[in-house]
Amino acid sequence: MHSNYVSGGRSREPAVSPTNMPKGKVVAHRWKIKQKLGEGGFGAVYKVVNMETMTPAALKVERIKKHGVLKLEAMILRRLADYPFFPHLLDSGKKATYSYIILTLLGPSLNKILK
């Protein structure tokens, strides 16, 4: 886990909408997008896999904004890292058009469970 929120730094990649990232796109040189899990008012969530370990994870992305929510979420998750019922923050960063955090994938979404 990176201690600095902007661990990935800014890249010179083409502009990408955080709510429309293509399957197969690689984020932070190791997280490959497998599928979109959902989207909401702040951005989107994707299932990704670590290309080195093949471990699945969740990628949360939001458009770059003055008051982004993901930076706060990353800070809170770092404080909850020792508790077993919260996802672990695996990576975080900022690209040209979006911020992201990568979390352990805990299971199906609440929407899926309620259906």
Q: Is residue 103 part of a domain?
A: yes
Q: Residue 71: which domain range?
A: 26-107
What is the count of structural domains for the chain? 1
The phi, psi pair for 45, rounded to 5°, reads: -125, 135
Annotated binding site for ATP: 66
Annotated binding site: 66
CATH of residue 94's domain is 3.30.200.20
Query: Does 2 have pLDDT greater than 60?
Result: no
First-residue to last-residue Cα distance in the chain: 34
Tens digit of pLDDT for each residue in 7-41?
444 445 566 788 899 999 999 999 999 999 999 88
Query: Does 93 have pLDDT greater than 60?
Result: yes
Q: Is residue 48 part of a domain?
A: yes
pTM above 0.75, yes or no: yes
Sorted by sequence, the CB contacts under 8 Å of residue 19 that are 6+ apart come out as: 39, 43, 44, 61
